[in-house]
A and B are shown apart, each in its own frame.
Chain A
Amino acid sequence: MSITYLDAIREAQARALADDPRVFIYGQDVGAFGGAFKATKNLAQRFPGRVIDAPISEDAMLGLAVGAAIEGMRPIIEMQFADFSTVAFNQIVNQAATLHWRTSVPCPITVRLPCGGTSGSGPFHSQSMEALYAHYPGLVVLTPATVDDAYSMLLEAVAIDDPVIFCEHKYLYYHLKAERLPTEAMPVGKARISRPGRDLTIVAYSAMVHEALAVAEELSAERFEIEVVDLRSVKPLDTDTVMASVARTGRLLCVGEAWPWGGVTAEVIARVASEGFELLDAPPQRLNAKDTPVPYHPNLWAAHRPTARSIAAAARNLLRR
């Protein structure tokens, strides 16, 4: 048996629907059609009346979710693409994210964002939104990089009493496979050491974890031992695991598929620099996408985002310092 990252997301939703009558799914084409990526395939048939097609009204989709959450439901909202969540931005950051702090009423909503680039998708079907949402208080932002995490973290997202932005990477949907669904899981908020090492820490999340692991393998032939930290969750951000890793290696490279200004890689470096400057043997580095919209053509796209090749080059530079 082989389970893809996408299968894991579908199975997690099936289990959430089966286990908890408060859960429902609302999004464009999620019903009989099964979703643009088939992340809800057959769920409408298995759970009648609980997997519901929405009009192309992202603002109203999120507003409806907030109202339902106030009534004790646990909605899962599927954005067809993460990019379109900007239409719902107001309801997410001003309505959902402020509700508990203002009124003491929890707002348990899971917003699934199919994010990140795939070849040929262009400026409006490729964005990585995690930094935007992590900036706002009142939100939890998850970025699973493995099949196991896609399954277990989505289940945990539905159980969390706050709005959760669940960034699922479209490139991983079909490329990533596991033998079976996990039976145990690390909790949300804990980073994972995906590969241990002693010469350099690469902090990554989502699809970039796999690029970083490829670099670690490549550089092992050059006798470098690269430690790869998978953040798993960018908010909360597991500073302790990152600091412990930097304490072991003395060198830090942060990699993110999102744009360079601010963001997750900047946050990680700010924390390490302010709390663990003395642990560093070289200036911390970061690698992000270029500061332009995501390009359409595969040649341009491959150069726009960090890849194993560009990460390896940055790693070698840092190891020489």
Chain B
Amino acid sequence: MVHTTLNPGTVGEPCQSRDEFVKAYQLMLLARILDDKFASLYRMGKVHGGVFLGRGQEALSVSFGLALRKGDVFAPLIRDGAGRLAFGESVLEAVRTFLGSPLGPMRARDGNVHRGRPREGMLAMISHLGAMISVVNGVLFAHRLKGVTNTAGVACIGDGATSTGAFHEALNQASIEKLPLVLVIANNHYAYSTPNDRQFACRSLLDRASAYGVAGHAIDGTDLADCLRVANLAVRQARSGGGPQLVVADLLRLCGHGEHDDAGYVDPALKAAPGGRDCLKVATDVLLAQRWGDEAALAAWRDEASREVEAAVARVQREPGPDPYQQDWCALAARHLAEGFANGEAAA
């Protein structure tokens, strides 16, 4: 059955409790401050490889991280630092991965946005876009086979990933199996530098929902209240047997694709439009207008987040890097089947 729900969203609509909004806001703030720190470390040459930030996408990301609970599965993408924190990742784990500490979850074997703890429901993304969606399907499919009920999964992608075969295969697969998948598309209008009109020709990415027979939801990605409302609705519907939910959020990334990119290609008209607003600023205005916090409280939250980030960075910078001589250089779990190559050569 095709069931498409369009939720245009109303800016500032007071539909959440104070506690939920404030919790989400504090996580957004923490994610923004953490991102700013990563950008700063990158400019100082302290980060190996690239830095990819979620600036401007925190409201959307945090809402889906919060809508999930223990036992669910979450596949964040590169701009989901806020969602990761909301799902339970510590600042320390994020910093350890970006700075290549062997004490991080990826043990310096993989870095930055590729971190995860799959057994705890946080999948570790690969770089091939759309590839994580069917993996979330697999976790949910296994839940069904094992008789685990009442779980849901969220896979996050951008507008660019909707052009991949993996996206179409996985959304179709989830629909066939009626899996509790919530597929969140952050349409930030550019896949690296490629604008929407070179990415897809349908009227809206929401058209994909009816095409695959799944529910569809639109979100104003700059409005935390709307994000929380739709995230809770979509996850609840998936969890309660409503099948896959496709969510399309309209927003703008307020940074380059990575910190190496000045994003000079972004249309100024988009920046000036409502979709170009900073979701953190919008949420701050709502918070103050609702009297859910005052300037003093905001300053205190900001200070607390900064202290946490600085403490984590200071700690990780004292941690030694990985020692290649301590690596086992074995890709197999079944170690008895390892080839015994050493230094790229067959062992004598």
Q: What is A's interface to B at a CB cutoff of 8 Å?
A: 24, 49-50, 54-55, 57, 59-73, 87, 90-91, 94-95, 97-108, 137-138, 140, 160-162, 188-189, 235-237, 239, 270-271, 274-275
What 7 pairs between A and B have smallest CB-CB spacing? A67-B138, A63-B134, A71-B142, A57-B169, A60-B169, A64-B138, A161-B333
Chain B 332-344: CB-based contact to A (< 8 A → 1; otherwise 0): 1110111110000
Residues of A within 8 A of B346 (CB): 239, 270-271, 274-275
Residues of B within 8 A of A274 (CB): 345-346
Cα-based distance from A72 to B143 in the complex (angstroms): 10
Beyond A50-B145, A65-B138, is A70–B126 a contact (Cβ under 8 Å)? no
Cα-based distance from A138 to B329 in the complex (angstroms): 11
Which of B102-110, B296-304, B313-321 participates in binding chain A? Answer: B102-110
Q: Is B293's CB within 8 Å of the partner chain A? A: no
Beyond A55-B176, A162-B337, is A66–B135 a contact (Cβ under 8 Å)? yes
Q: Contacting A236 at CB < 8 Å: which of B110, B116, B170, B338?
A: B338
Most buried by A among B133, B145, B333, B338: B333
What are some 26 contacts across the A-B interface (CB < 8 A)? A24-B145, A49-B145, A55-B176, A57-B170, A61-B134, A63-B135, A64-B137, A64-B173, A65-B138, A66-B134, A67-B141, A68-B141, A70-B119, A71-B139, A73-B145, A90-B131, A90-B166, A91-B134, A95-B128, A95-B131, A97-B331, A138-B331, A161-B332, A161-B334, A162-B337, A189-B337
Minimum distance in angstroms from B55 CB to a CB of chain A = 26
Q: Contacting B165 at CB < 8 Å: which of A59, A65, A106?
A: A59
Minimum distance in angstroms from A10 CB to a CB of chain B = 21
Contact A57–B173 (Cβ < 8 Å): yes
Contact B336–A189 (Cβ < 8 Å): yes
Beyond A97-B331, A101-B331, is A67–B139 a contact (Cβ under 8 Å)? yes
Chain B 115-128: CB-based contact to A (< 8 A → 1; otherwise 0): 01111000110111
Contact A275–B348 (Cβ < 8 Å): yes
Residue on B with the closest CB to A54?
A: B173
Q: Is B114's CB within 8 Å of the partner chain A? A: yes
Beyond A63-B134, A274-B346, is A68–B142 a contact (Cβ under 8 Å)? yes
Minimum distance in angstroms from A143 CB to a CB of chain B = 14
Residues of A within 8 A of B114 (CB): 102
Beyond A63-B170, A188-B337, A275-B348, is A100–B332 a contact (Cβ under 8 Å)? yes
Q: Is B306's CB within 8 Å of the partner chain A? A: no
Q: Contacting A103 at CB < 8 Å: which of B73, B105, B139?
A: B105
Contact B136–A67 (Cβ < 8 Å): yes
Contact B118–A60 (Cβ < 8 Å): no
Minimum distance in angstroms from B179 CB to a CB of chain A = 9
Contact A67–B126 (Cβ < 8 Å): no
Minimum distance in angstroms from B156 CB to a CB of chain A = 15
Most buried by B among A64, A91, A107, A271: A64
Residues of B within 8 A of A50 (CB): 145
Cα-based distance from A197 to B110 in the complex (angstroms): 49
Beyond A71-B142, A91-B131, A103-B117, is A60–B137 a contact (Cβ under 8 Å)? yes
Q: Is B172's CB within 8 Å of the partner chain A? A: yes
Residues of A within 8 A of B334 (CB): 140, 160-162
Cα-based distance from A59 to B132 in the complex (angstroms): 11
Residues of B within 8 A of A71 (CB): 138-139, 142-143, 146
Most buried by A among B142, B330, B345, B346: B142
Contact A162–B332 (Cβ < 8 Å): yes
List 4 extra interface pairs beyond A68-B141, A236-B339, CB under 8 A. A64-B134, A70-B142, A95-B128, A140-B337
Contact A63–B131 (Cβ < 8 Å): yes
Q: Is B140's CB within 8 Å of the partner chain A? A: yes
Residues of B within 8 A of A64 (CB): 134-135, 137-138, 141, 173
Residues of A within 8 A of B166 (CB): 59-60, 63, 90
Residues of A within 8 A of B165 (CB): 59, 87
Minimum distance in angstroms from B104 CB to a CB of chain A = 11
Minimum distance in angstroms from B262 CB to a CB of chain A = 30
Contact B135–A106 (Cβ < 8 Å): no
Residue on A with the closest CB to B332?
A: A162
Q: Which of B161-208 contact A (CB under 8 A)?
A: 165-166, 169-170, 172-173, 176
Residues of B within 8 A of A161 (CB): 332-334
Cα-based distance from A73 to B147 in the complex (angstroms): 13
Cα-based distance from A61 to B165 in the complex (angstroms): 13
Residues of B within 8 A of A106 (CB): 333
Q: Contacting B172 at CB < 8 Å: which of A60, A90, A108, A239?
A: A60
Residues of B within 8 A of A65 (CB): 138
Cα-based distance from A87 to B114 in the complex (angstroms): 23
Residue on A with the closest CB to B338?
A: A236
Residues of A within 8 A of B118 (CB): 70, 99, 103, 105
Most buried by A among B118, B146, B173: B118
Minimum distance in angstroms from A247 CB to a CB of chain B = 15
Residue on A with the closest CB to B73?
A: A67
Residues of B within 8 A of A69 (CB): 138
Residues of B within 8 A of A138 (CB): 331-332
Residues of A within 8 A of B107 (CB): 104
Contact A105–B137 (Cβ < 8 Å): no
Contact A95–B126 (Cβ < 8 Å): yes
Residues of A within 8 A of B141 (CB): 64, 67-68
Residues of A within 8 A of B348 (CB): 275
Q: Which of B274-303 contact A (CB under 8 A)?
A: none
Contact A70–B135 (Cβ < 8 Å): yes
Cα-based distance from A236 to B331 in the complex (angstroms): 12
Residues of A within 8 A of B116 (CB): 103
Contact B137–A63 (Cβ < 8 Å): yes
Residues of A within 8 A of B337 (CB): 140, 160, 162, 188-189, 236
Residues of B within 8 A of A100 (CB): 331-333
